[in-house]
Structure 1
Amino acid sequence: MTRFQSPFVRVCWYLSLAILAVPFVFPFLWMLSGAVKSQTEIFAPTLTLLPETWHWENYAEVFSYQPFARQYFNSLYIACVVTAGTLFISSLAGYALARIRFAGSGLLLLLLISALMMPEEVTIIPNFFLMKWLGLMNTHMPLILLPMFGSQGVMATFLMRQYFTALPPELEEAARMDGLSRFGIFWKVALPLSRPALAAVGIITFLFSWNLFLEPLVFLSDIELFTLPLALSNFTDAYGLPLWHLQMAATSLAVVPILVVYIAAQRQIVESFALSGVKG
């Protein structure tokens, strides 16, 4: 009897999941629909996903309204630099906290974890005065340095530390008997084995940097230096009202790298959150 009921149960599960997915999928479909509608049609009394007239010129207007291509490049290269720097620093720091015993290592780890409890809104003011004192205002350096050495860097270090802690110590002992130094063990043994953790940290860091909004809002004033999250809020008319058709067209272009990352590495994204629970 169970064999005959299993297809029915499976269909019920699929239908339930499809219904639960509607609130998450519908805003995305509405964004794609609004990207090819006119401003007036978006607020039409009749709610329709398919536009009456397809305004593909909205995408061209996005690039003519402001330097959107430059802003797109700004977000892309900043996210790549932050990801590469965070991977380098967090892998070294995570390995040191996991494998090197030194005085105060436990206290240092506790201080790093406590930094995750402090919201960015609390640290943005001292960071503002620090960057102003360093002469880095209206540059991309705060958007690169703060994520690498801030809360995102701390989380990356913690994830890498948890992964290195779970590695069998016998691997290091065998490498040490072969004459490898501490850095040689890290570079030739531990780091190649940590590719899943590196992939997870890289994905999370890239998404964090790509979606960063508060820091660009505080540190940037030149429109040529804007990143995408800040540029999306700049599609307004002369009265400061949003141009929704342009905002939706620009947003649909901005989510392309995020979709590519999620589709290509969704397994690593899920596993990355499990890494923080590894015993160590």
Structure 2
Amino acid sequence: MSRKGKLLIYGALCVLALPFLFPTWWMVTSSVKPDIDIFTFPPQLIPTSFSLDAYREVFTLQPFARQYFNSAYIAAVVTLGTLAVASLSGYAFARIRFRGQNVLFLVVLVGLLIPSEVTIVPLFQMFHTWGMIDTHWPLVLVPIFGAPSVLATFIMRQFFLALPGELEEAARMDGLGRFAIFWRIALPLARPALAAVAIFTFLHSWNLYLEPIVFLSTPELFTLPQALTQFVDAYGGPMWNVQLSAASLTAIPVLVVFVIAQRQFIEGLAHTGLKG
């Protein structure tokens, strides 16, 4: 392709990226403005006054550092647990033949069709019976063993279906059992799919909102999406610069994870046959 053609393509991509980049830029720049300058029209792309007071208030008005840690460790545990469950179940559905396999997999896929709002009441009653209300257990167990892990299982199954059967036959000739084949051969080859599942799962857990407001009531146990709604003034009105400062801090791990793993993420989707 000629130099002029490349410049045209890059220019078009930059223009198309503006609707996605502008909200993030507005969020970050508005977090260092006073409230009176946030909603000026036309918007100020570069702040005329700069202050980090809102970032300090984020940590003084609420236990934001503890809430940040809550979201981080819950997302990490849920991601690791989902990777373990989805890789095992995906491998079983793809490589192990048993009676009723397709019917069972269809039942699993039905989980994708059930909105979380439908199951939230029975889940609350179940965890209340177990004495787990106002703890982090529901936020860990539901994503790992519930409907959110169905998509992860589907991605892993699609990847394992694409693996050549000759690899397993050669491994059996070398004396490896079923689990050893999975652990030593299939799982290392599935790194692109695992990366895609990890990003999907991390983002879902990090942005989870409905379940925390249902299961949690103690501010020290709040996760970030729930904490963002608590920055209000004495009259219940939003403190916009403080909320935007907290939102900017909340977005950092998501950007870091995607920038680091975007190559594996795209490769994993390509191998599993998913299109976005």
For the pair 1:34 / 2:30, whether they are aligned, the reply is yes
Q: Where in structure 2 are the equivalents of 1:148-163 lying within 5 Å?
A: 148-163=144-159
Cα distance change, pair 196–269 in 1 and its aligned pair in 2 (3 A): closer
1:192 to 185, 188, 197: 188
For the pair 1:231 / 2:227, whether they are aligned, the reply is yes
1:262 to 255, 258, 270: 258
CA–CA separation in structure 1 for the residues paired with 2:173 and 2:15: 59
Aligned to 2:143: 147
Counterpart amino acid of residue 247 in structure 2: T
2:120 to 105, 120, 124: 124
CA–CA separation in structure 1 for the residues paired with 2:172 and 2:138: 40
CA–CA separation in structure 1 for the residues paired with 2:124 and 2:158: 32
> Is the CA contact (8 Å cut-off) linking 2:194 and 2:268 kept in structure 1?
no
2:44 to 38, 45, 48: 48
Distance apart, 1:128 and its partner CA? 1.5
Farther-moved stretch of structure 1 (197-206 vs 77-86): 197-206
Aligned to 2:211: 215
- Unmatched segments (≥5 aa) in structure 1: none
2:197 to 198, 201, 205: 201
Q: Deviations over 1:24-49 (max 9, x none)?
A: 11111111111101122213455312
CA–CA separation in structure 2 for the residues paired with 1:272 and 1:190: 14
How many residue pairs get aligned? The number is 274
Distance apart, 1:179 and its partner CA? 1.3
CA–CA separation in structure 2 for the residues paired with 1:184 and 1:271: 25
Distance apart, 1:177 and its partner CA? 1.3
CA–CA separation in structure 1 for the residues paired with 2:9 and 2:242: 38
Distance apart, 1:114 and its partner CA? 1.5
Distance apart, 1:14 and its partner CA? 2.4
1:102 to 78, 98, 103: 98
> Is the CA contact (8 Å cut-off) linking 1:83 and 1:206 kept in structure 2?
yes
Q: Residue 233 of structure 1 aligns to a residue in which SS?
A: helix
1:90 to 67, 86, 92: 86
> Is the CA contact (8 Å cut-off) linking 1:159 and 1:275 kept in structure 2?
no
> Is the CA contact (8 Å cut-off) linking 2:67 and 2:221 kept in structure 1?
yes
> Is the CA contact (8 Å cut-off) linking 2:134 and 2:215 kept in structure 1?
yes
Counterpart amino acid of residue 218 in structure 1: V
> Is the CA contact (8 Å cut-off) linking 1:98 and 1:162 kept in structure 2?
yes
CA–CA separation in structure 2 for the residues paired with 1:200 and 1:162: 12
Aligned to 2:17: 21
TM-score under structure 2 length normalisation:
0.94
- Unmatched segments (≥5 aa) in structure 2: none
> Is the CA contact (8 Å cut-off) linking 1:33 and 1:51 kept in structure 2?
yes
Q: Residue 245 of structure 1 aligns to a residue in which SS?
A: helix
Please give the root-mean-square deviation of Cα atoms over the aligned residues, in Å: 1.6
Distance apart, 1:164 and its partner CA? 1.0
Between the aligned residues of both structures, percent identity stands at 56
For the pair 1:253 / 2:246, whether they are aligned, the reply is no
TM-score under structure 1 length normalisation:
0.93
> Is the CA contact (8 Å cut-off) linking 1:204 and 1:269 kept in structure 2?
no
Counterpart amino acid of residue 23 in structure 1: P
